[in-house]
A and B are shown apart, each in its own frame.
Chain A
Amino acid sequence: MLILKCPYCGVSAEETEFTPGGEAHLTRYTSGSEDQAFTDYLFARKNPRGVHFERWRHVFGCGKWFHTARCTATLEVFGTYTGQTSTPPDNIIAVIKAKRPEWEGFK
């Protein structure tokens, strides 16, 4: 069971109040891009064991999309942050680095 804090409501709620939206920070390759890049964007998703960035929606609450950084192995949530960003913010990165020194960083 994940407990996520919605950055818009400021409320900590359990995962049944949210809906998952898959991997975060995808680059949306579109017409005019390389075939391989487009294929990867459409079909290939990261499936790491450890630190992962995801999109979640507070579907039973305020209805907003936001981002979550969590560990897929332990279900530890490192933090949640606004949906209006294309890379994880520095404070989230710092939290993860402190807890997972071996983590190779966001790519």
Chain B
Amino acid sequence: MSNAAFILNGAAFEGAVTVTEAGLRGMITLRGDLGSEAMEKAVKASVGVALPKQRKIKSGKRGAVAWMSPDELLLLVDYDQADMLVAKMKSILAEEHHLVVNVSDARSMFTLSGAGAREVLAKGAPVDLSHSVFGKGAIRRSRIGQIAAAFWTLDGEELEVVCFRSVGAFMYDWLSTAAAKGSLPEYL
């Protein structure tokens, strides 16, 4: 087996804001009945937090869990732990109709940090990113430019973006262009 590698080897762009490739991150897609006890138990056992509400992301010491749709969650965990946690959740959910997949290698992740991070994202996403609407712990699946992406903020400042790995390099280029020096409004 070859070593796991991320698409841009952690490239970083310093512009009006800093765009960084976040590196290897364990991601698990979990689908099923979000109202069931077993689901709650599976998430608690793997990430250690309760289920997030609609369009919210919750984080704990062992990772984070994000609401993706009424029957889908995305679990963010350590890269090395993902396979083990998939097996663990499979056994907890064995009695239920469910789907658990390790999608870590199918995704790329970026972080936007700096005062204008929201402005950069707002150039390409048809989403209200103001603090009052998109605050701490908010997640949104939408598009950035032409490509599908999900983005969230855990602390209300730094934004994290996840997209398909196949378009990861494009996403980095897009974000870097959008974050060009001097391209943000002056009131920031």
Contact = CB atoms under 8 A, between A and B. Distances in A.
A9 B128 CA distance: 15
Interface stretch (A39-47, A58-66, A72-80, A96-104): A58-66
B141 A62 contact: yes
Contact of B141 (A10, A14, A16, A60): A60
A11 B69 contact: no
B148 A60 contact: yes
Q: What is the interface residue range for chain B against chain A?
A: 10 to 19
A63 B141 CA distance: 10
Contact of B70 (A59, A60, A64): A64
Interface string B128-153: 00000000000011110000100000
Contacts of A14: 126
Q: What is the interface residue range for chain A against chain B?
A: 10 to 19
A46 B73 CA distance: 38
Given A16-B126, A17-B126, A11 B140 contact: yes
A9 B143 contact: no
B68 interface: yes
B154 interface: no
Interface string B34-74: 00000000000000000000110000000000001110100
Contacts of B142: 13, 17, 60-61
Nearest to B148: A60
Interface of B: 54-55, 68-70, 72, 126-127, 140-143, 148
16 contacts: A9-B54, A9-B55, A9-B141, A10-B54, A11-B55, A11-B140, A13-B142, A16-B126, A17-B126, A60-B142, A60-B143, A61-B69, A61-B140, A62-B70, A63-B69, A64-B69
